[in-house]
Amino acid sequence: MKKVLITGAAGNLGGLLAFHLKEYPDLFLNLLTHRKDVSKELRNLHDAEVFKADLSDKSTLGPALKDVDVIVHFAGILFKSNPEKFLPVTNTVYFQNLVDAAIENKVSRIILISFPHVEGETTMENPSTDKRDGKPESMHARTRLEEEKYLFAKQKTHKFEAVSLRVGMVYGKGILMIDAARWFSKHKLLCIWKKPTWIHLISTNDFLNATANAAVKENINGVYNLGDEGIQTLQEFFGDLSQYWGYKKPHRTSVGFIMFAARLFEFFSAVFNTQSPLTRDFVKIGMASYYGDTKRMRSELLPELKYKTYKEGINTF
């Protein structure tokens, strides 16, 4: 029986993957959490165990890593003010602790959930591949790039399979970013900048199938870009979504106005210790076009997509 550890199992995508993998035979799940607990359904699974640990303290990771074959790493902090201050620690340092502890426990495969933004701005003509020499503007992308560099550097000196899944935007019901967009759209607050931003999408279903295959299939190694066959802008995507939900299309406005709104959200987040659904760094990463070369995904992980474009999968909202 293969044992898979999911970090951030109480979070959005980590929890969805845990639900997805529970249907796989001969698979045992170690679900790693920190403060937030996993759902009752996951806690009651007979082929899963929940571990409380702190990625800032490598010594707490041993029990969760015992006899683990594969790690899928989601854990991180997103919706909080001033990510520039904490991401170099909560992304980079915490992931380094996990990798080091995994090597000590002889884990055979480590999967990092990354994104094409680590190469900087990419397009259909010049897509993200497996480069690690980019200079992205946002702190989210810069720290994720550092995680990739550390993972593949450690692979050179230790025997394990290092995998980076560079995921575009995952869409579908229950995805936090999409749910936030729906709330803003419902209250006529959804705004978007005027300059077209090209994005690469993938449905929740196809993302979970590709990630599950990355965990369970043999001889998976290196960088895989995950995405569907659609070519669209962020403006087009949110416009179609808003109309599908029965709301007006997003307001087109200046970047300065959106940055001002993000600053206000971050201010309230800092004062009242709440989540910030929008930050200035989110705007920076959101304004960068991104598109990944998915040939390796289609060849080794997911030959057939359930939804080739978001227009086919719009009913999943």
Supply 218's token pair: 């043999």
Confidence of residue 39 (pLDDT cuts 50, 70, 90): confident
Token couple for 167? 């995921």
**For residue range 251-290, what is the model confidence (pLDDT) as tens digits?**
999 999 999 998 998 898 888 887 777 888 889 999 999 9
Q: Name the domain count of the chain.
A: 1
Question: Would you say 239 and 250 are in contact if contact means Cβ atoms under 8 Å apart?
Answer: yes
Tell whether 299 is covered by a domain: yes
Domain assignment present for residue 263? The answer is no
CA distances from 200 to 64, 132, 175, 237 (A): 34, 19, 16, 10
CATH of the domain at 160: 3.40.50.720
Give per-residue pLDDT as tens, 185-227. 999 999 999 999 999 999 999 999 999 999 999 999 999 999 9
Give this prediction's pTM. 0.95
Mapped onto helix, strand or coil, the DSSP state of residue 185 is: helix
Write down the mean pLDDT value for the chain.
94
Q: Read off the tokens for 105.
A: 């426990």
**Is 13's pLDDT higher than 80?**
yes
Name 224's bridge partners: 165
Question: Model confidence over 40-79: pLDDT tens digits?
Answer: 888 888 899 999 999 999 999 999 999 999 999 998 766 6
DSSP string, 107-166: -SEEEEEE-GGGGSS--SSS-B-S------SSHHHHHHHHHHHHHHHHHHHS-SEEEEEE
Residue 261 counted as domain residue: no
Pairwise CA distance, residues 202 & 170, whole Å: 5
Asked whether residue 119 is assigned to any structural domain, the reply reads: yes
Give the percent of the chain with pLDDT over 90: 79
Q: Which of 164, 237, 143 is nearest to 196 (CA)?
A: 237
In a domain, 12, yes or no: yes
Q: How far apart are CA 282 and CA 139, in angstroms?
A: 9
Rounded CA separation 239/224 (Å): 29
Residue 139 CB contacts under 8 Å (≥ 6 apart), including other chains: 83, 84, 87, 88, 281
**Per the domain annotation, does 190 fall within a domain?**
no
Q: Looking at residue 54, what is its pLDDT?
A: 94
Q: Is residue 285 part of a domain?
A: no
Q: Is residue 232 part of a domain?
A: no
* Band (238; pLDDT cuts 50, 70, 90): very high
Helices (H) and strands (E) in the chain, counts: 13, 13
The confidence score (pLDDT) of residue 303 equals 97
Helix (H) / strand (E) containing 262 = helix 255-272
Domain extent at residue 213: 2-167+203-227+291-304
